Structure 1
């Protein structure tokens, strides 16, 4: 949810889509609903983004997987419902999850799902030649300005990514 929400809030959803060009990008109705709960404009932007497909989550197979992931995530209320639906979808259909919530990432990785964070995804795009490090830094600073929690201060993307050896 975080990359979609913060990219929409920064009016940079199109840039995120460009970085993911060539990949199939899906989200769940629960993620859309979570975004819309407090950010109606962001929800509208995500729903209208042509590069994002909202997948149906009511098949029996996905509902069973959701039940399993609800237990794994310790789901007791509506917090992390979006992340839980994404984990269930990824378990059933494969793919790489983009999650920034640290606890959700740990649970997903512990149970064998492939997970990437937003800034790792952006660093990957730099390595693939989809954007320059300078442009990535501007994007990440824009995400920071929306309140996105990042593992470094504003202006720190490049040094962080180099320290983590994410830029090649």
Structure 2
């Protein structure tokens, strides 16, 4: 049975009311396209200013900043891997992104966090595989953490929503 603290939502992550949102960032942390650009635009110029002081972030890691004009108090910038066929440690790096993001949310005393589908846009990670990694990593973290009350997968498109729903349905049970 999936953890009841995990949910899936289709919509704009910049508008969701949670304590922390996760940004699918690039290693510079200085903004970009897709979710990253939308978060930077919605948060305002102070976010870019704070990110400049962080000196970037390696793939598989995450950094935390204030949310500024966003409804979320925090933005956790997770740098997912670029898909290069699956034989370059992409799955482990993606799992690390989710785990590090949850650790930072916990350290910031966030009770709720929303994730986009990290690495599935321009980084090319297959949506189905990414959703399984995301759900399994978050479920494993939540099994040992009781301070986080809500983890939302905020997907921008119907294909990502369905991939996450299938992964959630099969959580703990391998698909036939």
Whether these two folds match at TM > 0.5 is no
TM-score, length-scaled by structure 1: 0.37
Greater relative contact order (CA < 8 Å, ≥ 6 in sequence): 2
Instruction: Find the structure with the greater CA-based Rg.
Output: 1
Between Structure 1 and Structure 2, the one with more helix by share is 1
Between Structure 1 and Structure 2, the one with more strand by share is 2
